[in-house]
Amino acid sequence: MLKESKKTNVYIVEDDKNIREALRYNLIAQGFNVEFTGDGISAIETLLNKTFDIILLDLMLPGIDGLEICKRLRSEHVDTPIIILTAKDNEIDKIVGLELGADDYVSKPFSMPELLARINANLRRNLIKLEKTKSITRKQFTHLDTFIDLDKRIVKINDKNIFFRPKEFDLLYKLMSNPGKVFTREKLIEEIWGFQYFGDTRTVDVHVRWIREKIELDSERPQKILTVRGFGYKSKLE
C-alpha cells in the first residue's frame, strides 16, 4: 500500500469573508489543508500554539493588525513563511511587512495562479533552507567580535543578544561564515530568498543596511560587512 503524502497546512488570516472563502476553496481544491480566522487576536493564539507550513496574512484586521502579528510571531521565533496580502498601492505596508519578517507579498486584487506560485516558491525555499541548516557543520562561531549560533539563531556582541529578523540572520550568517568571499546581490538573493524570489536585488541592500545598524560601531563607515562596488558584499577578514 502506498504511503499517503503529507498535505501542506495553510493558515489564512483574512477578515474579508468573500476573499477568505475564495482562498479556502481554491487552496483545498489544490490539495492543501486549510484553517482560517478573521481576526488578529485568534490568529496570534492559534499560531503560537500550532504549527503550519505557510501563513497568508492580511494586514487590515480587527483586534490586532497584520503587521503586529508578523512582529509578534518573529519575536517568538516562529519561522513559518509568511505571505502578506496588501492593497495594490500600499507600498509602505509592503516595506514594513518585509522589514518585520514577512517572506513575500501579493497585492490585492491578485490571481490564484500568482498566489499559488508564490506559496509554492516559499515552500520550496523553506525546505531548501531547512535541508541546508541540517547539513551545515559550522553551528557556532565568533567573527569580528560577533558571535553567531545557527541552531538557536542567536547573535551576540560583547555578550549582549542582538535581535535579528529571519532574513537578516540568514544574510549575516552567509556573509560571516564565509569571510573574505564576495557575493553578488544576485547570488545572495538566490541563497537567502531562493530562486523563485519575485522582488529585485535592492532588498539585499536594505537588509545589509539593517544589519550594519546592529553590528557596526558606525554604520556609515562599516568595518564588518563591506561593499564591493559594482559587485556585491563580503565579510571582512580578521
| Residue 4: inside a domain | no
* Domain boundary, last residue among 112, 131, 150: 131
Residue 64: partners with Cβ closer than 8 Å, 6 or more residues away: 39, 40, 41, 43, 44, 72
Nearest to 170 by CA among 218, 208, 141: 208
Domain of 98: which CATH number? 3.40.50.2300
Q: Are residues 98 and 212 in the same domain?
A: no
| Residue 167: inside a domain | yes
Give the pLDDT confidence of 97-120 residue by residue, as tens digits.
888 888 888 988 889 999 999 999
Nearest-angstrom CA–CA distance, 157 and 143: 10
* Domain boundary, last residue among 106, 131, 156: 131
| Residue 54: inside a domain | yes
Q: What is the pLDDT of residue 197?
A: 55
Q: Are residues 110 and 197 in the same domain?
A: no
Nearest-angstrom CA–CA distance, 56 and 61: 13
Map grid coordinates 488578529 to a residue: 40
Characterize the bridge pairing of strands 9-13 and 54-58.
parallel
In contact, 66 and 13? CB cutoff 8 Å = yes
| Residue 3: inside a domain | no
Nearest-angstrom CA–CA distance, 40 and 168: 25
Q: What percent of the chain has pLDDT over 90?
A: 47
Please count the structural domains in the chain. Answer: 2
**pLDDT confidence tier of residue 194, bands split at 50, 70 and 90:** confident
Q: Are residues 100 and 161 in the same domain?
A: no
Q: What is the pLDDT of residue 3?
A: 41
Give the pLDDT confidence of 10-24 residue by residue, as tens digits.
999 999 999 999 999
CA atoms 187, 139, 165, 158: torsion sign: negative
DSSP codes joined into one string, 91-109: HHHHHHHHHTT--EEEEES
63: left (phi over 0), alpha (psi -120 to 50) or beta: left
Is the model's pLDDT at 32 over the cut of 90? Answer: yes
* Domain boundary, last residue among 131, 160, 191: 131
**pLDDT confidence tier of residue 195, bands split at 50, 70 and 90:** low
* Residue range of the domain that includes 152: 136-235
Nearest-angstrom CA–CA distance, 14 and 37: 6
Q: Are residues 68 and 164 in the same domain?
A: no
Domain of 164: which CATH number? 1.10.10.10
Nearest-angstrom CA–CA distance, 65 and 17: 16
**pLDDT confidence tier of residue 43, bands split at 50, 70 and 90:** very high
Nearest-angstrom CA–CA distance, 29 and 7: 12
Distances (CA, A) of 81 to 54, 152, 220: 5, 18, 31
| Residue 2: inside a domain | no
Q: Are residues 209 and 165 in the same domain?
A: yes
Give the pLDDT confidence of 133-180 residue by residue, as tens digits.
555 456 778 888 899 988 889 999 988 999 999 999 999 999 998 888
**pLDDT confidence tier of residue 128, bands split at 50, 70 and 90:** confident
Q: Are residues 68 and 30 in the same domain?
A: yes
Q: Are residues 167 and 223 in the same domain?
A: yes
CB atoms within 10 A of CB 75: 12
Per-residue pLDDT averaged across 48-67, rounded? 91
Q: Are residues 123 and 150 in the same domain?
A: no
Q: Are residues 73 and 41 in the same domain?
A: yes
Q: What is the pLDDT of residue 168?
A: 93
Q: Which three cell numbers stand for residue 84?
A: 502578506
